Amino acid sequence: MAHVSFDSSALKQFVHDNELGEMQAMVNAADQQLRQGTGAGADFRDWLHLPTDYDKEEFARIKAAAKKIQSDSEVLVVIGIGGSYLGARMAIDFLHNSFYQAQAPAARKAPLVVFAGNSLSSSYVHDLIELIGDKDFSINVISKSGTTTEPSIAFRIFKELLVNKYGEEEANHRIYATTDRQRGALKTEADAAGWETFVIPDGVGGRYSVLTAVGLLPIAASGADIDQLMAGAKAAEDTYVDPDLTKNEAYQYAAYRNILYRKGFTTELLENYEPNMTMFAEWWKQLAGESEGKDQKGIYPSSANFTTDLHSLGQYIQEGLRNLMETVVKLDTPNHDQVIPAAESNLDGLAYLEGKNMDWVNTKAYEAVVAAHVAGGVPVMTVHIDKEDAFTLGYLIYFFEVAIAISGYLNGINPFNQPGVEAYKTNMFGLLGKPGYEEVGAKLRQEMADNQ
């Protein structure tokens, strides 16, 4: 089978046979907007050819830096927020042991990669400092500007920790900055201190940046194979070129989710049956939500982890408001399987499953859930992956990136900007008293007082 395949067979009662073909003209137009740069946001399409058109010299430096980190650090602290951390974190979870963070260093065979600067929780930072303790560590700070509040605060704290432990000269050899090629506060500081720097390309937005140094350095430092990751993405780039909906499954997914959206299925749940894909859903939620939620329209992205969430969200999915559609990322061949053992008694009622593989049971649960949810009025699409390895992950990343880009154009929006992200920042700066935002702060404080 292909490394990634799309199954729409459960949509029959929701989408008529003619509807996909009737989307072809719109898909052709969206493809032209994306491929020829005639659509909104054309300056941010460089991710489209990243798997083949990337800086090979920088890629070699990434692998060299990862080896250095592996040789001198027990912990790598990756500082970033949004697209500056979600891609790396989901990839590390996807590609490693489910209990990677709890493994002994000898079993992990690479530094523990941890993340900071993705919240404003002081307890989280305190606990992370305790986790590092006396361990040797390095920092990879990721920010285009170097002035984003959450990572900037975290960087101050962990840079101070690094300098106090090693002295300024050695600390400078343990800081890796992934930032703008030429400008910005972080680039200025990095150049002055002599930190090794990697580039966030101008034409790649944060949510599309996992296959740049943003994601590749932490992923490589964790011991994962970034050559295979890029090879998988290249295979997908080669596959998803033809806009013909009878051939291009990524475009099929984009078209079907728009057909369903126009029928009132306004919330999409990305689901999995493997706990180590939880962060994959978090990465996908930013990709979909930040790309499509504009102009008071767009599919709302949510997620569920099965079978776990069938015991919490299952009731709502089965019988709640009928605005849900589901996309399952289904692993077809697990890295490891487990046989259900026999027992002398049958108090748990599992005698009929003795000798069966757990993955066989997991797959039957998936099939049963699809049947139940479809019968309950919920359309289900499935993206099958054959295994959990770097090649497949690269392929899967590209599948969703190109599908979401096409989906955004099908819905008449710019899939590459995020104007709404700045609204909360302006208010926060006002309340924090940042220079230049005093008027905003005064207005908000007055509004809050009036509402008390």
pLDDT digits (tens, 9 = 90+) for 194-234: 999 999 999 999 999 999 999 999 999 999 999 999 999 99
Helices and strands, counts by H and E, the chain: 18, 10
Q: Which of 135, 297, 364, 425 does the annotation list as catalytic?
A: 425
Question: Does 264 score more than 70 pLDDT?
Answer: yes
pLDDT in tens, 49-71: 999 999 999 999 999 999 999 99
135-192 per-position pLDDT tens digit: 999 999 999 988 899 999 999 999 999 999 999 999 999 999 999 999 999 999 999 9
Computed over every residue of the chain, the mean pLDDT equals: 95
- Which residue among 196, 290, 292, 401 is the active-site one? 290
Q: Tell me which DSSP letter residue 245 carries.
A: T
User: What ranges do the domains of the chain cover?
Assistant: 4-39+230-411, 47-224
**Does this chain's domain 4-39+230-411 share its CATH topology with 47-224?**
yes
Spatial distance between the Cα atoms of 112 and 108, rounded to a whole number of angstroms: 8
- Cα-to-chain-centroid distance, residue 377: 28
Q: How would residue 418 be classed by pLDDT, with cut points 50, 70 and 90?
A: confident
What superfamily does domain 4-39+230-411 belong to in CATH? Glucose-6-phosphate isomerase like protein; domain 1 (3.40.50.10490)
Distance CA(16)–CA(123), nearest Å, equals 52
3-state secondary structure of 94: helix
Map tokens 């101050």 to a residue.
156
Going by their DSSP bridges, the two strands 4-7 and 380-385 should be labelled as antiparallel
425 catalytic? Reply is yes
Written as one letter, the residue type at 91 is: A
Residues 260 and 13: beta-carbon distance below 8 Å: no
- Its pTM stands at 0.95
- Please write the tens of the pLDDT for every residue from 299-350: 999 999 999 999 999 999 999 999 999 999 999 999 999 999 999 999 999 9
Which residues make Cβ contacts (< 8 Å) with residue 420, sequence separation at least 6? 293, 294
Assess whether pLDDT exceeds 70 at residue 436.
yes
Q: Would you say 95 and 113 are in contact if contact means Cβ atoms under 8 Å apart?
A: no
| CATH 1.10.10.60 for the 47-224 domain, yes or no | no
**b/e sequence 99-115, b meaning 16+ C-beta within 10 Å:** ebeeeeeeebebbbbbb
